Chains A and B, each alone.
Chain A
Amino acid sequence: MGAFLERALPPTLALGGFLAIWEVLTRALDVPAYLVPPPSAVLAAALQEPSTLLVGAMTTGRAALVGFAFSCAFGILAAITLATSRRLERAFYPYTVFLQTVPIVAIAPLLVLWFGPGLRAVAVSAFIVSVFPIIANTLAGLRSVDPALRDLFRLYGASRLATLVKLELPSAIPEIVTGLRVAAGLSVIGTIVGEFVAGFAEGAPGLGIVVLTSYRQLRTDVLFAAVLTAAGLGFTLFALVNAVGRLLLRRWHASELSR
């Protein structure tokens, strides 16, 4: 318990201090609420419209999760495939970088055309934004297997599959987890951006839509609340991935020792 306090207290105090200064400054300088609302106003807005934010978080969270799940499955499989041969990697890896550099806002209209507005287009946007770090990190992990252990597997006549399952994947877990951590936050970002363009279809508007509408209505307090909710969503997903990673690595990997 003492250790928990020791860890939780500093960030809590920092946040409290930050909010207090923000509150005092906006009031003292008389900043118009449509520019920067004080934290108390943001909180009030959030309490006033709990269902808007909750529904928004559900919609956005669902799309982000779907996109993230596809990123995990496709990203890891793609990396395993690319890792089977240097030639394959040379042929296709440069184009996966494309996924990283493509301006998602610019192609989001295409996604609407292809997938129709709503969850599908939004999830694809989340997928595109978050898949590259998973491919890149998994590939790096699969490639950096201890060569002596590789020799050992060869010496004992291990099949390609056994080498993948018993050697390459386990030793790539730290890198895979790193990729997933980055992808978790990115998938929420990709979802919000996707919603800006493609999120207007369904009855339950996502947080991206809440941001857009509150902006048009100059409800900056609601906008702040929506942005914070989206950040919270990304953080939750990140924390989830982190917990899974810790569970997988805690007994053996340096990154999770001495915690």
Chain B
Amino acid sequence: MPRSGPLDAALSAGGLHSRLSDAASGVGVTLRGVRRIYPTGLEAVASLDLTIEAGAFVAFLGPSGCGKSTLLRLIAGLDQPTDGSITFSRAASGASVAFVFQDPHLMPWRRVLENAALPLELAGVGERDRKDRAMAALEEVGLADAAVRYPRELSGGMRMRVSLARALVTRPALLLLDEPFAALDELTRRMLDDQLRALWQKLGMTVLFVTHTLSEASYLAERAIVFSKSPARVVADHTLALPREREHALRSTPAFLAEEQTLYEALVRGEAT
């Protein structure tokens, strides 16, 4: 059954033929008393209240297995909460959502361009238009040259960028990333961090970013939410007092290190509860 999903609404809102340079604005997310108890009886998220403003860049931190991925899947609508509600600031279906997993999860039988165009293809966008837009998304992540290659012919970092391009191609109002760069080397990761941050500044979508790396969270996000160990509760909800323009030099400033320390202490507290 074809669903007239959030994507359609966002596509028509943005104009089907708009080029990628058009900025999509973010969507706000409100969680009220959200719980998730798995059929196994395990409570992964316990009665969570959270408000995320439109256009925010929020990092989710917390011990392994505390329920971050579960939370992200709930927000994406890939899983349903046992209790509580998740609402979006625009009309119920007004948010287009994109998801980036820890691994690229590309379709190996498709070329890079066709991988990046997948979301548009599923939304029924015509071939010419979707190829143009996928190409523009690949340009944004610096992969225009690799468009006709197959995923197996790319390095891990390049594949992750294709995955990012695939997520950005619909101009999502909400971008969810679950430890997206965790498997990459430090240099590649920092480069992708910079690209992501720049794209966020350019496009203005809401970004929820799960990471285990404190410096990555501090460097990228405007706000960091630290969860306790399972079931996830908010231990700290911290607005990072850092300049909007982030450069690598920032990482060694006292302000940055202090923020990192704050998050670290919150993590320790969450582990102790």
Q: How would residues 145 to 186 of chain A score, 1 for a CB under 8 Å from any chain B CB and 0 otherwise?
A: 010110111111111101000110011010000000000000
A155 touches B108 (CB 8 A): no
B150 touches A251 (CB 8 A): yes
Closest Cβ of chain A: how far from B110's Cβ, in Å? 8
B residues near A158, Cβ cutoff 8 Å: 122
B107 touches A154 (CB 8 A): no
B103 touches A148 (CB 8 A): yes
For chain A, the bracket of interface size reads 20 to 34
Beta-carbon nearest neighbor of B170 in chain A: A156
- The residue from A155, A160, A162, A252 contacting B77, defined by CB atoms under 8 A apart: A155
Complex Cα gap A79–B74 (Å):
32
State the majority secondary structure of interface residues on B.
Answer: loop
Beta-carbon nearest neighbor of A153 in chain B: B122
Total A-B Cβ pairs within 8 A = 60
For chain B, the bracket of interface size reads 20 to 34
A155 touches B76 (CB 8 A): yes
A residues near B109, Cβ cutoff 8 Å: 170-171, 173, 251-253
B residues near A171, Cβ cutoff 8 Å: 107, 109
B119 touches A156 (CB 8 A): yes
- The residue from B78, B103, B123, B151 contacting A151, defined by CB atoms under 8 A apart: B78
A148 touches B105 (CB 8 A): yes
Beta-carbon nearest neighbor of A248 in chain B: B109
B residues near A167, Cβ cutoff 8 Å: 107
State the majority secondary structure of interface residues on A.
Answer: helix
B3 touches A157 (CB 8 A): yes
Complex Cα gap A155–B8 (Å):
12
Closest Cβ of chain A: how far from B235's Cβ, in Å? 28
B236-253 interface with A by 8 A CB criterion: none
B5 an interface residue at 8 Å Cβ cutoff? yes
Q: How would residues 187 to 227 of chain A score, 1 for a CB under 8 Å from any chain B CB and 0 otherwise?
A: 00000000000000000000000000000000000000000
Q: How would residues 135 to 154 of chain B score, 1 for a CB under 8 Å from any chain A CB and 0 otherwise?
A: 00000000000000011100
Beta-carbon nearest neighbor of A173 in chain B: B109
Q: A146-B105, A148-B103, A253-B108 are in contact. Are A157 and B7 (CB under 8 A)?
A: yes
Closest Cβ of chain A: how far from B46's Cβ, in Å? 24
- The residue from A148, A157, A252, A253 contacting B122, defined by CB atoms under 8 A apart: A157
A152 touches B1 (CB 8 A): no
Closest Cβ of chain B: how far from A250's Cβ, in Å? 10
Beta-carbon nearest neighbor of B77 in chain A: A155
Residue picked from B8, B97, B101, most chain A C-beta under 10 Å: B101
A/B interface sample: 15 pairs, CB < 8 A: A151-B78, A152-B118, A152-B119, A154-B78, A155-B76, A156-B118, A156-B119, A156-B123, A157-B4, A159-B1, A166-B121, A170-B107, A171-B107, A251-B109, A252-B150
